[in-house]
Amino acid sequence: MSALHELSLVEAAARVRRREISAVELTRAALARIAAVEPKVGAFLTLADVEAIAAAEAIDRRIAAGQDPGLLGGVPVGVKDIICTAGLRTTAASRILERFVPAYDATVTARLWAAGAVIVGKLNCDEFAMGSSTENSALGATRNPWDGTRVPGGSSGGSGAAVAAHECHAALGTDTGGSIRLPAAFCGVVGLKPTYGRVSRSGVIAYASSLDQVGPIARNVADVAVMLEAIAGHDPADSTASPREVPSYRTALDGTVRGLRVGLPREYLVEGMQPEVEAAVRAAVD
């Protein structure tokens, strides 16, 4: 049987819901994992251990009372440190905001709480999300958990590294020009930059508002689908947020992609690309 910190998000949430494990047990396992590997990885800028245990206890009480724990009920997740969290330091990996504690949650943070997630801390990134390696964090670089001599990508490198190192079951990142997709690729996990307007940007420290998007990073596609379902939707606080109904992305995973047309810009296959990377891309296309 897998250790608790190794469970997928979907499996962890299901086991908490069935009362096979408690949210507190799951959260303590995540915090123990963070304590064990964080000195080598450096994914977290702020650890919310006390707050996380309190949130997990609340989920367990909800379940004991026969109430719905939520889509992410009891599952430890991390949040990129340019996304505001009420009462929890939000630095944007900058000395300028080193002591900034927001008085409000970003919309996506509030939706994580509403879905029953347990936020275990804030994750490192390039300063103000301006970078692609997480070496540009003013509060210290994050290392790739697979090889400490390599970068985790960026700017959401802390999110990608934390998920890959099993410090949390999923995380939120932001993507302007690759900042979710690069860490997902570098760290061997799954990341998604949603369609513009699918997820609210309210409460996110902006880099380029016409391009910024909040999205999930997790260990598999199903976990990413559940995270997106939890955070997506219209938001009056963001005029660009789409009013379209949020579908069940989990249900969509059971369908087929037969007949779906996918475009591949030939410019992505550039001179100097590593042969194994190009071969993998072409194999996927074929």
Rounded to an integer, what distance in angstroms lies between the CA atom of residue 56 and that of residue 116?
9
Helical axes 49-64 vs 9-17, angle rounded to 10°: 50
Which one is catalytic: 155, 156, 159, 200?
155
- CA 168-170-176 angle, to 5 degrees, is 125
Phi, psi of 47 (to 5 degrees): -100, 130
- The residue from 179, 200, 202, 242 that is catalytic is 179
* Cα–Cα distance, 8 to 90 (Å, whole number): 27
Catalytic residue among 80, 156, 159, 200: 80
- 132 among known catalytic residues: no
Specify whether 80 is catalytic: yes
Q: Is 179 a catalytic residue?
A: yes
φ, ψ (nearest 5 deg) of residue 80? -55, 140
| Residues annotated as catalytic (active site), given as ranges | 80, 155, 179
